[in-house]
Amino acid sequence: MNTATDIGTLISSSPAHYGGWPCIASCGFPVANLAVIMNEEHLTAEEIQSDLPHLTLAEVYAGIAYYLLNKDEIDADLALDAALFREEAAAAKASRAAL
């Protein structure tokens, strides 16, 4: 008889790893990265797994499910992260221009 896997064991989160962003537990791949791949590259779970062979198909689906269940929060975190990057890039550009 096969032993069932608790889907909750496939996703982990730790403040010491990626700032606490949820990740695939086996390797630390951020769920937010799966969201970006899925949303921007429009890949299926099978295509994502083919491109990221260190993830199992079950891990990809678990990451996608976690993202869909927490979409608003993850999308807001991604938007904030992008805004902070743009601010830092603009500040660095201004600093170089002042030299």
- What tens digit of pLDDT does each residue of 61-94 get? 999 999 999 999 999 999 998 898 898 888 888 8
The full set of domains in the chain, from first to last, is 10-97 (1.10.10.10)
Please list, in sequence order, all residues whose beta carbon lies within 8 angstroms of the beta carbon of residue 78, skipping any fewer than 6 positions away: 32, 35, 36
24 φ, ψ (degrees, to nearest 5): -65, 125
Model confidence pLDDT, tens digit, residues 12-58:
998 888 888 999 999 999 999 999 999 999 999 999 999 999 999 99
| Angstrom distance (rounded) from CA 32 to CA 9 | 17
Alpha helix (H) ranges present in 42-70? 45-51, 57-69
